[in-house]
Amino acid sequence: MNRRYAHALLLALALSSSKHAVGELDRLNDEALSEVSGQGGIYLSGDISINEMGGPIENGYFGRCDDAGKKCGARLAYRLKEDGGWMVLDEIRGNFAFEGLTLRVRSIDSGFAGDGEAFNGDVVEIGLPDTVRYNDVRFKIAGSNTPRPTDPGFQQTDIFAVEMQGDVIMEGNLLVFPTGNP
Amino acid sequence: MAGIRKHIVVTQSVRGVVLALSAPAMADMQLLGDEDMADISGQSGITLEMELGMTADRLTYFDDDRGIYLEDFRVGSASQPGKSAAHVIRVDITDEASLNLDYLVEDRRIEFGDIRLAGAPGIGMGGIFFDHSLQGNLRISPGGAFGSSGYTFDTAYTMTGGRLGYRTNGNEVFLDDITLSVEALGVTLDVVGSTLELNAPRVSGSYDVGAIRYSNNPANHGNTYDVATGQALPSYGGLSGSFDLSSKTGITAGGREGEGFRLDNETTINSASFIYHDDDHALAFREITGQYRLNDLRVDVTADRYGRDALGFTLGSLNGEFNIGRIEMGASGQSIGEVNVSFMLQDHIYNGRSYTNAVYLQGGGHPDAGSQGLRLSTEWSLQLADLSYTEDGNRVIFSGLQSWGQGDVTVNVTRDGELNGTRFYDGLRIGFENVSAGYRVNGLRVGSEDAPLQGGTELLLALGFYPAYEFDMDGQVTLGAGGASGEGLTINSDIRIRNGRAAIIAAPYDEGAGEVSQKGLWISDLSYDAHVRDMTLDVTEDGLALVKGEAWSLMDVGNLRVGDKDAGSSFGRFVAQKYETGSSMIIVPGGAGNVCAGGSGGTESACAASGGIWEARGDEGITIQLKQILAKEVSDARKNALTWETNRQVDSSGKPINNTGSRLVLDDIHTSDGGDFDGDGVDDNTFGIRTDLSVDVYQTKVVKKTDGADALGVVGARGDEKIMDPAAGAGYRYVSSPTTADLDNRPLGFAVRARSRFKELSINNIDLFHPTGGPQTAVYGVKMQNFDIEANLTATPIP
């Protein structure tokens, strides 16, 4: 198989609510696993939270989360034109909890319906946790005329807000490897 | 000892010895034979009072016709140069034919002005001086550990007002105000075969160093106070501690080549402590125990691998183990936990090349610093070391640490200013020249030495810790006296690394079937230039504080490779420029404390209600508080920027040519407090990016991700929890509905809680550079505000 084609097949992220929806990615059996080097790796359990109680700024716009009159999330603004307006992700907050996020470097020279033999290389494997628990994850998309909400003449138009709660099934492995000319 | 053929020559005069004798008369003194001593009993003793002043231009030691000179040798008064030192010695012989010496030495200085090698004219290693007053006794008894032909020594003494200094080119660093008490009873000296064996079954004592001082004024030689200002010379801090040792030393004739001598030593540290004092705060290493075995250390006057004359120390092997029961810091003296190090230094092959352990001492130091200094032509091979850290009873082992390298290390005491085109700073300068070195860690083991290897060092990347690193290095670190206030250290440093290969993620180099090429994610073809100015190191009431004045660096990663460090596929080139002002790192005792993992809430019940697991991680552990103040660009060399380049052209050897490909540049990244609050016309920048990294070893929840057998053949269903069970074959089993008892046996992991906060982080512009089309700005500014991100992660082996 063409090596580039093999690369394309291997760059697969299995992100679905069903454990069967993994395309051509085959699970490695024990024999194949025995040929995998770099068994060290890590299995991570824990959580990541953003602005759980608020951020470090206390001013007229930002404050702690128990202050209803203030925004307690994080804010990211960028602009694509030199004198243009700013796209904003505002009030970014939330908590993600998981068990089983794995990280290792892995050699692949078999499996994957024959693609592995053609690939015959090393990848960084990020093993996705089966279940990620989203707790009050939210952000807003907005447009603003200034990068800081405390700048003079600040105006902002919220476009839409996203809020996520509950479990998300994330199964499979994310294989990261270089391709093309470095 | 017939094989020892040494020549010691004293050149010039020995003068000024004045003896005053209390009865009986001095003229009667002769060496006593064993028979005479056996007949002597009940002597009332004699008292010798001496004013000793002695100088010698040169003492020479020859080894295989190569000479080493100890020049400008002087014994006399410490406080009054040119005067003599007072000695009072009372000599007595006991009923058991032992010779008793009670002595009092006041204000004595023993000094060498320089140490030179015959084959290296014009340069010297620098001078050493030793001031002290001594009071003690020594009993010499006939008969050693192996028969009547040896000797037994019993001694106890107290040294006060001590100074021990090292001096190059008129600048000096010295331990000041040393107090030392030592008791060594039953020390035996025997000739065993061809070896002179010294056995000290117990040596105990305590020490106190009032200050470690620095002077850049030759007129201050050996003074506590500056002669010009009357102020105390700046201090690095003081030391104190105690020790209780047992040791056995063998000295044998014959060097690695021809003449010379061999040393073997076994020492057991029964107990010891080491405390560093900085003003009113202490960093204490307590409950130290351990042992080491020095095997076949040879000392020769010889030449190093480049043919340079040197005093050579070549080692057969050195192995041992040390345990530090408590490491205390901060105002409350809280312990971060216990540290254990086991090590083996001996010849070994790394990357196909054999390394040994040797140090070749030479004179000169840095060639621009003056004629005096130390040059250590070194080679080392740490074949194996395990470093373990235990906190609240739980242990993590950095397993299989190896290190190797060779190169020159120079040591000079320097003063601030430019000399012969090189910039020097006040302090003890340690230089690196053509150092080619590396280290690697096989992995972490959590819980016990037979736990499976796992990763986890990835969680410490924020501290700049890589699990494997090979590099060529030049540069210098100058340790100045005085910290941010009062005592402490001020550090100025310039480091240049080339041909670097550092692992961000690394698989084990030995999984039990022998050493293999280590797979990983590598920053390879690395060039790294780092500069630090006026960085202070102090022990404070919080812990150990490192505050950078100004720091800038350029890290050019030629290729970010996956797999093999040299041949792995490349993601392209990454260049990181950093420029920081006022950044800091504080090491604080205590880990994360109480943690709600996977949930939220400040109490156990609130945590459980949110679906989290309440983890009381205890009082010990360690927290590292980082503050990175990314300054706004002041020049092309001093700014924060990140570049990713791909699609580079290649030269005739197939090597990519930098700056010929497509580049993505995040330019002028800087932090801010979000406004100009002090009205100086510039945004304030005092908060920076603050990251608290808390490290603990604690239990965690590990869930099976697939049905069936895992890598070790233990069967379980998807979603089952891993529970440690010594009765199970692999040491664990999978449980679908764990009981309360099962939950107490969750596996231990390497737990890192990282909390990063910043008020504002800006990117001035993001540019795309096309190899032919030139630069184009893609994003005209990014501003991130009010971030507080907490990651609470525990690393365990992949089941």
ipTM of the complex: 0.84
C-beta atoms of A84 and B780 within 8 A = yes
Q: What is the pTM of this model?
A: 0.90
Chain B residues whose CB is inside 8 A of the A105 CB are 505-507, 519-521, 562-563
| pLDDT at residue A36 is higher than 80 | no
| pLDDT at residue B246 is higher than 90 | yes
B701 shares contact with chain A (CB less than 8 Å) = yes
CA-wise closest residue to B174 among B219, B124, B135, B209: B209
C-beta atoms of B674 and A135 within 8 A = no
What does each C-alpha distance from B748 to B341, B355, B397, B448 come to in angstroms? 21, 37, 12, 10
C-beta atoms of A104 and B646 within 8 A = no
By Cβ distance, the residue of B711, B777, B789 closest to A33 is B711
B791 shares contact with chain A (CB less than 8 Å) = yes
C-beta atoms of A56 and B758 within 8 A = yes
Contact B508, B442 (CB under 8 A): yes
More confident residue, B147 or B433: B433
| pLDDT at residue A174 is higher than 80 | yes
Q: State both tokens at B665.
A: 């540049």
| pLDDT at residue B262 is higher than 80 | yes
| pLDDT at residue B36 is higher than 60 | no
B505 shares contact with chain A (CB less than 8 Å) = yes
By Cβ distance, the residue of A62, A124, A129 closest to B562 is A124
Burial class of residue B289 in the structure, from the number of CB atoms within 10 Å of its CB (0-12 exposed, 13-18 middle, 19+ buried): middle
Nearest-CA residue of chain A relative to B614? A46
| pLDDT at residue number B5 | 40
Q: How many Cβ pairs closer than 8 A exist between chain A and B?
A: 246
C-beta atoms of A52 and B784 within 8 A = no
Place of tokens 């021809």: B258
Percent of chain B that is helix, strand, coil (3-state, to 5): 5, 65, 30
Chain B residues whose CB is inside 8 A of the A149 CB are 785
By Cβ distance, the residue of A49, A80, A98 closest to B780 is A80
B516 shares contact with chain A (CB less than 8 Å) = yes
B776 shares contact with chain A (CB less than 8 Å) = no
Nearest-CA residue of chain B relative to A89? B784
d(CA B371, CA A97): 63
B715 shares contact with chain A (CB less than 8 Å) = no
Phi then psi for B450, rounded to 5 degrees?
-100, 10
Mean per-residue pLDDT of chain B? 92
Residue B29 pLDDT level (bands cut at 50, 70, 90): very low
Q: How far is A120 from chain B (nearest CA, A)?
A: 11
Q: How far is B631 from chain A (nearest CA, A)?
A: 19
d(CA B53, CA B85): 6
Q: How far is A182 from chain B (nearest CA, A)?
A: 4
Q: State both tokens at A62.
A: 């930002």
C-beta atoms of A45 and B702 within 8 A = yes
* pLDDT per position as a tens digit, B400-438: 999 999 999 999 999 999 999 999 999 999 999 999 999
| pLDDT at residue B541 is higher than 90 | yes
Chain A residues whose CB is inside 8 A of the B564 CB are 122
Instruction: Please tell me whether the peptide bond between B24 and the residue prior to it is cis, using omega within 30 degrees of 0.
Output: yes
Q: How far is A50 from chain B (nearest CA, A)?
A: 4
Q: Among the listed ranges B33-47, B87-101, B358-372, B703-717, which one has the minimum average pLDDT value?
A: B33-47
Q: Is the dihedral of CA B279, B211, B625, B683 positive or negative?
A: positive
| pLDDT at residue B523 is higher than 90 | yes
Mean pLDDT throughout B574-586?
A: 97
Q: State both tokens at B309.
A: 């004359």
Mean pLDDT throughout B215-227?
A: 96
Chain A residues whose CB is inside 8 A of the B711 CB are 33, 39
Chain A residues whose CB is inside 8 A of the B795 CB are 42-44
| pLDDT at residue B712 is higher than 90 | no
Burial class of residue B396 in the structure, from the number of CB atoms within 10 Å of its CB (0-12 exposed, 13-18 middle, 19+ buried): buried
| pLDDT at residue number B326 | 97
Phi then psi for B607, rounded to 5 degrees?
-65, -50
C-beta atoms of A97 and B611 within 8 A = yes
CA-wise closest residue to A116 among A28, A42, A18, A22: A28
B571, B785, B793, best to mutate vs chain A, most A CBs in 10 Å? B785
Chain A residues whose CB is inside 8 A of the B574 CB are none
Mean per-residue pLDDT of chain A? 82
Helix or strand or coil: residue A181? coil
Strand partners, B785: A75, B760
d(CA B566, CA B517): 10
Q: How far is A86 from chain B (nearest CA, A)?
A: 9
* pLDDT per position as a tens digit, B483-501: 999 999 999 999 999 999 9
d(CA B544, CA B336): 12
* pLDDT per position as a tens digit, B689-698: 999 999 999 9
**What proportion of chain B, given as a percentage, has pLDDT over 70?**
94
What does each C-alpha distance from B492 to B477, B533, B633 come to in angstroms? 6, 5, 22
Contact B284, B311 (CB under 8 A): no
B82 shares contact with chain A (CB less than 8 Å) = no
d(CA B186, CA B152): 6
Residues 741-760 of B with CB under 8 A from A: 749, 757-760
Residues 565-584 of B with CB under 8 A from A: 568-573
Q: Which residues have CB under 8 Å from B205's CB, separation 6+?
A: B180, B181, B182, B183, B242, B243
| pLDDT at residue number B38 | 45
d(CA B365, CA B24): 52
B705 shares contact with chain A (CB less than 8 Å) = yes
Chain B residues whose CB is inside 8 A of the A90 CB are none
Mean pLDDT throughout B750-768?
A: 96
Residue B461 pLDDT level (bands cut at 50, 70, 90): confident
Contact A74, A61 (CB under 8 A): no
Q: State both tokens at A45.
A: 């359990």
Contact B202, B244 (CB under 8 A): yes
Residues 19-78 of B with CB under 8 A from A: none
Domain ranges of chain A: 3-176
Residue B35 pLDDT level (bands cut at 50, 70, 90): low
Helix or strand or coil: residue A10? helix
Q: How far is B392 from chain A (nearest CA, A)?
A: 20
Contact B671, B639 (CB under 8 A): no
Phi then psi for B448, rounded to 5 degrees?
-150, 170
